[in-house]
Amino acid sequence: MNNNDLNQNRRDFLTKSAVLAAAAGTLTMSTSSAQATTAAVDKPIAVAGYVKKPQNLTDVLMNARKIMDTCAACDISGAGRCNGKGPCGETVPGMGGKRLSFVRNIEAFEEVSLNMRTVHNITQPKTEINLLGVKLSMPILTGITGGLTYNMGAANKLAFDGEMMTEEKYARGIIQGAANSGTIGWAADGIGDPLETYKRRMNVVQEFKGRAVAQIKPRTQKEIFERIDIVQQAGAPFFAIDVDSAGRAARALPGKTVEPKDLKKLKEIVNYAKIPFIAKGIMTVDEALMCAEAGCGAIIVSNHGGRVLSSTPATMHVLPSIVKAVRDRGYKMPILMDGGVRDGGDVLKALAYGAQAVLVGRPMIRASLGGGVEGVEMLFKRYHTELVSSMVLTGVADVNNVDPSILIQEV
């Protein structure tokens, strides 16, 4: 199947999912127009054996495993970590990603250990941060993940609660689950997504004004500005562009163009937007400095979870030099990271390397698909509990001040 066919399939699915979402009552659409269009679509697929009211993360993962075709939710089977070594393979779209970069992200966390220190009086460490004016209960955000219904094989299927799985439903799980946990969730932009699909995701962002943020693909400047207007109207406090999606530039179709962004274009985006712009997918010191010079509100050190280039370094390997270079030049912009953050101990390690916050991708995807809002809340709670426990056991009082000496490099 060539890329044009794939894009056509995605477009077909998105059109169909909009209709199905309307049929399931998740979109505002007049009854008559919904009835008129649903006749043409396939019958939604019921999935057997769901836990209808998931009580814990095991139930959530069991549900997620049932709805997804491209992820085996290995965590259930005792592996404990989604590490790219399971049967997910090297497929994109899907959870696997380009195996080497994905696996390296995980292994980089395993190379560093936490120095255990318990002779102190820290019992209630502080986990709150202020990120670009937004107070968060913990330095953990959801990953930026979209297209889950079509990327994960959840298209045309009923979710665990018996309702049609749609992009809006997925976004709600992520965004409301994060907001209820006192932090923030991202709505994504898929390269092939029509503007209408993006607007529907922004409706969810608008509902959680100030507690939901949005990403835009590195489209043409004109298309980016059009989406920035929508994001701002939805009340998002900041937005990101995953500049590392530029790899699809060579395959772009009319209206689906993505492109690398040079310093001039970064500055144009910063100047156009009334809210802070975060550049996601920064892996080198020089580009981090260009983002700082352009006036970006923050950067996310990320290799897209290993999904765009098969042989990048781990994000944890490049993070310290990026932090050092940015801080040495006096820039205060927050530096976030993602890729392989699988528990609260990993969060603490990233903070010790100088990150202000982390994003969690694949585990949140499964939480939303398998447990919706409550599934995402359960996962945030687990990460928070583990973070607090790791802080007590390493003698860290405040996530805003984590000393690198809590880490030991394994040799």
Ligand X SMILES: Cc1cc2nc3c(=O)[nH]c(=O)nc-3n(C[C@H](O)[C@H](O)[C@H](O)COP(=O)(O)O)c2cc1C
* Binding interface with ligand X (CB under 6 A): 95, 105, 143-146, 151, 188, 190, 215, 242, 280, 302, 304-305, 307, 338-341, 360-362, 365
**Residue 242 Cβ, how far from ligand X at the closest point, in Å?**
3
Query: Of 22 and 148, which has the nearer Cβ to ligand X?
Result: 148
The token pair at 287 is 């580009």
Query: Positive or negative CA dihedral for 192, 372, 337, 331?
Result: positive
When the beta carbons of 59 and 338 are compared against ligand X, the nearer one is 338
Tokens of 300: 């996310």
- Cβ closer to ligand X: 63 or 142? 142
Q: Is 185 annotated as a binding residue?
A: no
Dump strand ranges (E) for 137-292.
140-142, 185-187, 212-216, 239-242, 277-282
Q: Catalytic: which of 120, 304, 317, 384?
A: 304
Distance CA 154, CA 161 (A): 14
92 labelled ligand-binding? no
According to the annotation, is 362 in a ligand binding site? yes
CA gap 188, 227 in Å, rounded: 12
Supply the minimum distance, in Å, between the C-beta of residue 337 and ligand X.
9
* Cβ nearer to ligand X, comparing 172 with 362: 362
Asked whether residue 117 is marked as a ligand-binding residue, the answer is no
CB-nearest residue to ligand X: 361
Instruction: Answer yes or no: is 338 a known binding residue.
Output: yes
Gap between the Cα atoms of 287 and 52, Å rounded: 46
C-alpha 75/C-alpha 157 separation (Å) is 23
Whether 120 is catalytic: no
Min dist CB 273 to ligand X, Å, is: 17
Instruction: State the maximum Cα–Cα separation within the chain, in Å, rounded to a whole number.
Output: 69
CB-based contacts of 222: which residues, under 8 Å, 6+ apart? none
Q: What is the distance between the alpha carbons of residues 39 and 339, in angstroms, rounded to a whole number?
A: 42
Nearest approach in angstroms of CB 315 to ligand X is 8
Question: Is residue 341 annotated as involved in ligand binding?
Answer: yes
Residue 54 or 340 with smaller CB distance to ligand X: 340
What's the min distance (Å) between Cβ of 240 and ligand X?
7
- Three-state DSSP at 93 gives coil
Distances (CA, A) of 371 to 163, 253, 359: 12, 36, 19
Annotated catalytic residues are 304
- Binding-site positions for glyoxylate: 304, 307
Q: Which residues are annotated as a binding site for FMN?
A: 280, 302, 338-342, 361-362
